[in-house]
Amino acid sequence: MKLLHACTLSALCLATQAHAVNLTVCTEASPDGFDIVQYESAVTNDAAGLTIYDQLLLFKPGTTEVIPGLAEKWEVSADGLNYTFHLRKGVKFHTTPWFKPTRDFNADDVLWSINRVNDKNHPAHGVAKNGYVYWEGMGMSGLIKSVAKVDDYTVRFTLTRPEAPFIADMAMSALASIYSAEYAAQLQKTRQLEAINTQPVGTGPFVFKSYQKDAIIRYTANPSYWGGVPKIDNLIFAVTLDPSVRVQRLKAGECLVGTNMRAETAAAFDGDKNVQMMRMNALLTAYIAPNAKHKFTSDKRFRQALWLALDKKTYIQSVYGGNATPAASFLPPGMWSFDKSLANQYDPEKAKALVKAVGYDGTELSLFTRVGGSIDGKRAGELMQADWAKVGIKVKVQMMEWGELLKRTGKGDHDITFLNWAGDNGDPDNFFTPNLVCDAVEGGGNKSQWCNKQFDALVDEARKTSDPKKRTELYLKAQKLVYDEVGTIPAVFPEYMTAVNRRVSGFVQSPFTNNDFRRVSVK
């Protein structure tokens, strides 16, 4: 590395650098840090979880299928409580100016990575001063009873209850990224454990080089990556907040990839000979949450009227520029067990009749929406307002900032709100448990405040069942129940868009809306 650094000043190396293959990526935000388990934002996930770190398991590119990662194979005990992972041998940690590994990856690294987050008494637990919000949000601390080293290359997790999505959880970067225990010991010795957030070391495809705050992150290809050396020499993330500026940077060739492109910029590359807009139906559902605890919206018929009155065709055209499809299920189409038989409903006349039957007295209801975000919340709210006015429902659109929206909808202040849910681990449980079960009402995740014991029982049973066929049956029933009871109103399935220069090949969009560049090459 020193050599490389010295190299940058010499003419010879400048010439070499000029021939280096760079992949420049325009990202929509800055990463929160590089200690991935402390954070959950999509950009942090891309900037740390899928570059610097590897996970025990990985997702097959472009799918939700779990494939071997740092664990080559795994077994589950008959009672579903023990998961044994057999680790890959010969995996090297990154060599950086701040750390020179003396050994390969082994079971100690897995133990350190999991215990550090899960065990409050672990010496490195306190590094995350805000706690491990995502770990807690996914309910991991109540799930993992212990993790034990069987031998140098085998670890065993013991769970407190059977949990079918656990395997998928172990492929998630914010939960199962593996750190070097040797590096942690080095930092602990010098009382600099906090540096794990700024000088990260992992086994991933790219080695962290530098971060110029809020501007540029630089990585170099990991020359000893177990999954094959990346085809690019340097990966560069350029933080570019404004969506229109991201478009211009892509057009000017300053960036070769633009992540998380907004719907209104979708047409910007129509007919462009250099840049193409890739689209994907990711694990993403935009939904409307009528508060089931408030007057009128507590009535199933009223919620159904809200659904029936909504002209989704116009809504999709106006808010998403046509880049979305109407939704009828809370699960998105890319999710296994998605119920294709459920159909969207649009019948304003029936909606009028239902509103009348409920005895709605014209009370103005609140519709909470956010400023900023992935769509124009104001326009979306006004379209809903207009559609509902046509069937006699009065709604006042209340714009608020994201933090305020979370606080107030978490407390149930709203009559109606609308949000997006992006899947984390490719398991249907990840859609239902955080958003629709009774327990999630108290934690603020269940914005509909809808609580149905029958639904809870179905989801609970599916979580404990390992047979995919049986789980599918249970989730089909759960979807039908949400549909019939209008537990929430699935609005649309937005397309996830990534702008990619035609010189780039091998880039595959992920259903999790994250971005992995390990297989990408640049012509």
Nearer to other proteins, 291 or 345 (CB): 291
* Residue 38: count of CB within 10 angstroms of its CB: 23
Return the sign of the alpha-carbon dihedral for residues 398, 402, 403, 405. Answer: positive
When asked if residue 24 is in the footprint of other proteins (CB under 8 A), the reply is yes
Return the sign of the alpha-carbon dihedral for residues 68, 71, 76, 80. Answer: negative
When asked if residue 361 is in the footprint of other proteins (CB under 8 A), the reply is no
Chosen residue from 227, 333, 348, 410 binding other proteins by CB under 8 A? 410
When asked if residue 457 is in the footprint of other proteins (CB under 8 A), the reply is no
d(CA 451, CA 408): 19
When asked if residue 148 is in the footprint of other proteins (CB under 8 A), the reply is no
Q: Count Cβ atoms within 10 A of the Cβ of residue 255 and give its class: 0-12 exposed, 13-18 middle, 19 or more buried.
A: buried
Beta-strand relationship, 82-87 and 71-76? antiparallel
Chosen residue from 216, 357, 386, 389 binding other proteins by CB under 8 A? 216
When asked if residue 445 is in the footprint of other proteins (CB under 8 A), the reply is yes
Nearer to other proteins, 223 or 443 (CB): 443
Return the sign of the alpha-carbon dihedral for residues 380, 332, 169, 82. Answer: positive
Q: Which long-range contacts (CB under 8 A, 24 or more apart) does 40-43 make?
A: 40/133, 40/134, 40/137, 40/174, 42/260, 42/422, 42/513, 42/514, 43/259
Chosen residue from 8, 102, 121, 190 binding other proteins by CB under 8 A? 8
d(CA 25, CA 259): 7
Chosen residue from 150, 245, 357, 389 binding other proteins by CB under 8 A? 245
**Among the residue ranges 5-13, 62-70, 162-170, 177-185, the one whose residues contact other proteins (CB under 8 A):** 5-13
Chosen residue from 154, 197, 325, 472 binding other proteins by CB under 8 A? 197
When asked if residue 30 is in the footprint of other proteins (CB under 8 A), the reply is yes
Phi first, then psi, for residue 58 (nearest 5°) are -130, 165
When asked if residue 9 is in the footprint of other proteins (CB under 8 A), the reply is yes
Binding mask 224-243 for other proteins (x = CB under 8 A): ------------x-xxxxx-
Residue 98 CB, nearest approach to other proteins (Å): 15
Nearer to other proteins, 115 or 285 (CB): 285
Write the DSSP assignment of 215-269 as a string of letters: TEEEEEE-TT-TT---S-SEEEEEE---HHHHHHHHHTTS-SEE-S--GGGGGGG
Residue 241 CB, nearest approach to other proteins (Å): 5
Residue 405 CB, nearest approach to other proteins (Å): 8
Is 160 within 8 Å of 142 (Cβ atoms)? Answer: yes
Is 392 within 8 Å of 352 (Cβ atoms)? Answer: yes
Chosen residue from 102, 121, 130, 190 binding other proteins by CB under 8 A? 130
Nearer to other proteins, 136 or 484 (CB): 136
d(CA 474, CA 163): 15
Chosen residue from 158, 212, 454, 505 binding other proteins by CB under 8 A? 212
Residue 192 CB, nearest approach to other proteins (Å): 12
When asked if residue 403 is in the footprint of other proteins (CB under 8 A), the reply is yes
Q: Which of 434, 165, 396, 426 is nearest to 287 (CA)?
A: 434
Q: Which of 148, 116, 149 is nearest to 36 (CA)?
A: 116
Write the DSSP assignment of 345-409 as a string of letters: ---HHHHHHHHHHHT---PPEEEEEESSSSS-HHHHHHHHHHHHHHTT--EEEEEE-HHHHHHHH
When asked if residue 434 is in the footprint of other proteins (CB under 8 A), the reply is yes
Residue with tokens 């140098």: 152
**Among the residue ranges 49-57, 61-69, 177-185, 244-252, the one whose residues contact other proteins (CB under 8 A):** 244-252
When asked if residue 121 is in the footprint of other proteins (CB under 8 A), the reply is no
d(CA 284, CA 331): 8
Nearer to other proteins, 102 or 130 (CB): 130
Chosen residue from 108, 119, 382, 404 binding other proteins by CB under 8 A? 404
When asked if residue 77 is in the footprint of other proteins (CB under 8 A), the reply is no
Nearer to other proteins, 364 or 439 (CB): 439
Chosen residue from 65, 75, 349, 401 binding other proteins by CB under 8 A? 401
Residues that bind other proteins (CB under 8 A): 5, 8-9, 14, 17-18, 22, 24, 30, 32-33, 39-40, 129-131, 133-134, 136-139, 194, 197-198, 210, 212-216, 218, 236, 238-242, 244-245, 248-249, 251-252, 254, 401-404, 406-408, 410, 419-421, 434-435, 439-440, 442-447
